Chain A
């Protein structure tokens, strides 16, 4: 066949079905290690402020993405915040429909001069509003593993 005779139907055409398995170990690094340890051990939330330009990062980091300075100190913030935006999610990661939609929030974190944090908001979709105050809900200390789900999500207050 020539290119001008392109077949548009899927029947009678050959293909090979393949799969790329990719497994990986993701290193937390110094910043996130400290951030998740503080949540796990003390239920505390750590931000960091750039000593040169004053930019604040949440979760804490060891370098400033705006001025390239090293950041060595962290400080505690309450972990509370405001709903900057939210979305009602009807699809799972693979594109399949969910039984019940999830609400994902973009939280502006208190004491961080505008840093955002993405997590679930534990509320019915029609009860969530932009501008509402939220607080994090942590797992019981014995169940914490040092990852994002040590925070179960945020709840509107």
Chain B
């Protein structure tokens, strides 16, 4: 079934077993993002250690795509430098905009390539990007705080 491209095993696993889904109290920045078209919400915190991402932690309600994507993103980006995280995020955004024409590079995106199928369902791309956009926002805030 074509739907299986969207709901890959990895996605359902992350949905049932979300990673880093406990908000920490000592974040450098914390943001709240919503998807106004469907009501999905995510609160996401970032803690930096110099230039490195020490922690991404979050809480939220939403569909399997938004929840799994946030979970996968947090797993993938923790431990990376801010520059690396930005490059990976851009890769992911590019994949989401590919309308199903790309599979994604597993060396860069790891589990996130499982979300490639989302790019064929325009209404769901925002779901997949919710957590990533929250991370982008939080990491910029955390970084500017660090610089002060």
A associates with B: no
Interface residues of B (CB under 8 A from A): none
Residue numbers of A with Cβ under 8 A of B are none
